[in-house]
Amino acid sequence: MLPSDLASLLILGVGGMITVLVGLWIYYDRRDHAFYDVTRRKATFHCLKCSRLYTAVAAGDLNPCPRCGHPNPRLRF
Ligand SMILES: [Zn+2]
């Protein structure tokens, strides 16, 4: 059943636009939150064997160097 008068069409249109905007807002908010959460969990490591600095998602205190494979502790500031 479609509304026939102009006010109902206007309310339906504005309501639809608000629904789309809120949906886009929630989508981009969740996407950015997931992106920055992964970035925030990264830790910096310094290889004691080859002196390379690298970052990785910190699963523990030790992370292997991508160049030589030596396990290194994370840097703490
Ligand atoms: Zn290394």
CA of 30 to the centre of ligand 1 (A): 36
* This prediction's pTM: 0.54
Torsion of CA 23, 29, 34, 36, to 10 degrees: 160
CA of 71 to the centre of ligand 1 (A): 8
> Where are the domains positioned within the chain?
1-40, 42-77
pLDDT given for residue 2 in this prediction: 60
Is the pLDDT at 1 greater than 70, yes or no? no
pLDDT over 90 percentage in the chain: 68
Reduce the DSSP state of residue 52 to 3 states and report it: coil
CA distance 26 to 20: 10
